[in-house]
Amino acid sequence: MIFRKRSGAKTPAAAAPAAVPTHIGIIMDGNGRWAKKRRLPRSAGHRAGAQNFRVITRYCSQIGVKYLTLYVLSTENWSRPAEEVNALLGLFKEYLEESLRDFMEENIRVRFIGDVSVFSQELQQLIRRVEEASAPKTSMVLNLAVNYGGRAEITRAARLFAEDVAAGRCTPAELTEQAFDRYLYTAGQPDPDMILRPSGEQRLSNFLLWQCAYTEFVYSDILWPDFKPSDLDEAIRLYASRQRRFGGV
């Protein structure tokens, strides 16, 4: 189901707390098209998207979302032009520095999921400092998927389990879905209730493949930099209107 671009309607009221999903995943898509429509460089679209990321993150915390996972940088994004990748990394560094300077007033715990070992030592140090500084926060957990791919996450989890078997810490017979879940980046967190993709695209793009087995998918043709809290309210209303059976009747 899709909800379409706004047409001058009044901003809807915030979603009722009872309808708010516990865990929302967002594929932040459409930055490049947003810039192209305005005859701007793609980097301008990513900067606008980064600003909107801050708005939507704070709004999710305000309305009672407990876990928010945002797709920031995929394992496939490295194939983009070097100028664009460098712009993305620059914005990422800006966010980390801002988090330590300004974002700590928010009651939001920040975690990074994905292989961060590819980043510079400076970025890795900033990542550790943000995670450590925000660890006591209790309102919402913000997962930032950086250098993340769903297949890579599953492969990594299988490798970690195999290492435990080889070390005698467990046996192959002990492997269940619940046991496997403990080897994922999101271990200990509930699966996403809803995954949202702005921009009109209707695919997961290697995002949370294991975790989204029964996630409700909502997409919108609103480009990410234009996506407003009222649009999130509408997505939540669509989510709340569905009957989730989890394979049952």
Active site residue ranges = 29, 77
Q: Which tokens in the block code for residue 16?
A: 């009722």
Q: Are strands 67-74 and 140-148 parallel, antiparallel or unpaired?
A: parallel
Quote the CA–CA distance of 93 and 46 in Å, as a whole number: 13
CA–centroid distance for 73 within its chain: 10
81 phi, psi to nearest 5 deg: -55, 145
Nearest by Cα to 130 from 92, 154, 96: 96
CB 204 within 8 A of CB 195: yes
Distance of alpha carbon 165 from alpha carbon 91, whole angstroms: 40
Q: Report the C-alpha gap between 157 and 126 in whole angstroms.
A: 25
The H-assigned helical ranges of 64-203 are: 82-101, 121-134, 150-166, 177-181
Burial tier of 52 (Cβ tally within 10 Å: 0-12, 13-18, 19+): buried
216 within 8 A of 244, measured Cβ to Cβ: yes
- Which residue in 170, 112, 118, 163 sits closest to 141, CA to CA? 112
